[in-house]
Amino acid sequence: MTTLSLKKITSAWIITILALFVLAIAFGITMRFNQGANINLDPAKFYSLLTTHGVTMIGIWAVAGMVAVNYLLARYVPVSTSLNVFAFILTVVGVVMLWVTTFIGHFHAAWTFLYPLPFYVAWEKWATPVFLLGLGVLGIGWFVWAVGMMLQILKKYSLRHTFAWQHLTTKHDVAVETPPFILITTVSLIGIIVCLLAAVVLLVLFFAEYFSSGSFVNDPLLMKNLTYFFGHTLANESLYLGLATLYELMPEVSGRPKFKTTWYVALGWNCTMVFVLTAFFHHLYMDFVQPVGFQMIGQLASYFASLPAAAVTAFSVMVLVFKNPIKWSLTNILFFLGVVGWLIGGVGALIDSTVSNNIFLHNTLWVPAHFHTYNAMGNVLFSLAFFNWAANEFVGNQNETKSYSLKIVLLLIGGFGFVLMFYFAGAYSVPRRYSVYPQEFTSAALLASAGAWFACIYLVVILWMFFDIVKKCFKVFSPSY
């Protein structure tokens, strides 16, 4: 059941996430203008911005997915508001710690904090442990919250039912139906719990070396595997939480019957759960000491992880909208465009994860190109759709009368224009994570400037949505509500 306290904490999350998003976009635009030689940042400042931007974006969109599924989960099982508030407080504390290390402590080892970079202190000495601790605080909050949600699900559905195994048959009469929302939420939460556990191991190993005064040294290959297992999995599971929200809300706001769990939906998501946990190996193709078997698993799992979820979702969404009377609104347009962005970014990712292409594309701007596509034009749109729907829910009116066409046009021009400049640069082998491009890359600065201007258009739309959504969210805090 949706209580007032659940509405209040969800509103607090939405306002905080959107405010952090606006700031993180501004950091991104600043970096892109610097790469375009329109402004001239000190390199250490550029890398502090890169670190803050990356860690903030990954964090807020992972947690946005959890906020959405937590709210919608209340339709099926009781959810704990205290755990939600606990995660919120730890998130705020964690973000403050991280931002203090980057803006005051000048920590700039990028959001992946790849071992042993954080130990090569080129910033305040305290910033390394505080950055790692900040990550730990975020991780604890989200881990406890995710476990809490899983336990609530398991109180109502058996393990077999949460994975929808009873649907893996062509028979139509299953005794207990698993809603797609429960299946996808389970798959995603399990992935999140496992990757946060890996993060705990990683942080413990970092601290063990930090406090050992040189008597304990980590294995860099193990550390890199753990880092990417954590980072890649978290980024992917965030997307899947967005898809859980889509499965629950898109038919409802479109005035269509709810999605059902069929055998192919059950099979697709079960496969995704297994393969997504091993796809991260594609980040280590250039680490020649990595056993060859893992490299093969990396390539195969990259294909197998994305295809079932993508194919099943694309099919389900096409069936929903094709030749059916749809009640279009900003919410379902955002869901629809999010699927398009996710699929385009997914194809970009598959091209890069193919070993023969990766030789050329590895660590070029092709990498930010594909992950910005399925984030800025995919996962972010899923969460914005939820935020817009929730804000309307808070004021009790899903029938928006305002036209949203201009918002959508600007979003498409700004968002796809911004990522297209990354793709062009990647195709020209421009390296990623450069503050200023070497002169040999003749078109890199021009593409960066163009990307920055497109991103400004994207920012305008986000600010526009921010004001519309936040105004409604504040209503739940009014004493007369």
Q: Of 28 and 134, which CB lies nearer to ligand HEM in the complex structure? A: 28
The token pair at 13 is: 């999350």
The residue range among 48-56, 67-75, 91-99, 468-476 that interacts with ligand HEM, by the rule CB under 6 A, is 48-56
Q: How far is the CB of 249 from ligand HEM (least distance, A)?
A: 21
| 318-327 LR contacts (CB < 8 Å, sep 24+) | 320/250, 320/251, 320/254, 320/256, 320/259, 321/254, 324/256, 325/255, 326/254, 326/255, 326/256, 327/253, 327/254, 327/255
- 292-351 residues in contact with ligand HEM (CB under 6 A) are none
Q: How far is the CB of 192 from ligand HEM (least distance, A)?
A: 15
Peptide bond into 116 cis (omega under 30): yes
Q: How far is the CB of 116 from ligand HEM (least distance, A)?
A: 16
The answer to whether residue 61 forms part of the interface with ligand HEM (CB under 6 A) is: yes
Q: Of 376 and 390, which CB lies nearer to ligand HEM in the complex structure? A: 376
Residue from 269, 335, 394, 418 touching ligand HEM (CB under 6 A): that is 418
Q: Of 25 and 361, which CB lies nearer to ligand HEM in the complex structure? A: 25
Q: How far is the CB of 324 from ligand HEM (least distance, A)?
A: 31
Q: Of 60 and 266, which CB lies nearer to ligand HEM in the complex structure? A: 60
Q: How far is the CB of 61 from ligand HEM (least distance, A)?
A: 5
Residue from 229, 416, 458, 466 touching ligand HEM (CB under 6 A): that is 458
Dihedral-angle region of residue 177 (phi above 0 means left; psi in -120 to 50 means alpha; beta otherwise): beta
Q: Of 387 and 418, which CB lies nearer to ligand HEM in the complex structure? A: 418
Measured in whole angstroms, the distance separating CA 210 from the mean position of its chain's CA atoms is 30
- 81-110 residues in contact with ligand HEM (CB under 6 A) are 110
The answer to whether residue 266 forms part of the interface with ligand HEM (CB under 6 A) is: no
Q: Of 50 and 195, which CB lies nearer to ligand HEM in the complex structure? A: 50
The answer to whether residue 53 forms part of the interface with ligand HEM (CB under 6 A) is: yes
Q: Of 148 and 415, which CB lies nearer to ligand HEM in the complex structure? A: 415
Residue from 50, 226, 253, 444 touching ligand HEM (CB under 6 A): that is 50
Residue nearest to ligand HEM (CB): 28
- 108-167 residues in contact with ligand HEM (CB under 6 A) are 110-112
Task: Please tell me the distance from the alpha carbon of residue 251 to that of residue 478, in angstroms, as a whole number.
Answer: 31
Q: Residues 14-33 vs ligand HEM: string with x where CB under 6 A?
A: -----------x--xx-xx-
The answer to whether residue 242 forms part of the interface with ligand HEM (CB under 6 A) is: no
Q: How far is the CB of 448 from ligand HEM (least distance, A)?
A: 8
Q: Of 79 and 132, which CB lies nearer to ligand HEM in the complex structure? A: 132
Q: Of 14 and 31, which CB lies nearer to ligand HEM in the complex structure? A: 31
Phi, psi of 107 (to 5 degrees): -60, 135
Residue from 2, 433, 449, 474 touching ligand HEM (CB under 6 A): that is 433
The residue range among 8-16, 57-65, 147-155, 394-402 that interacts with ligand HEM, by the rule CB under 6 A, is 57-65
Q: Of 247 and 458, which CB lies nearer to ligand HEM in the complex structure? A: 458
Q: Of 302 and 373, which CB lies nearer to ligand HEM in the complex structure? A: 373
Q: Of 111 and 466, which CB lies nearer to ligand HEM in the complex structure? A: 111
The count of chain residues that interact with ligand HEM, using the rule CB under 6 A, is 24
- 360-399 residues in contact with ligand HEM (CB under 6 A) are 368, 372, 375-376, 380
The token pair at 452 is: 């920055």
The answer to whether residue 232 forms part of the interface with ligand HEM (CB under 6 A) is: no
- By CB under 6 A, name the binding residues for ligand HEM: 25, 28-29, 31-32, 50, 53-54, 57-58, 61, 110-112, 368, 372, 375-376, 380, 418, 432-433, 455, 458
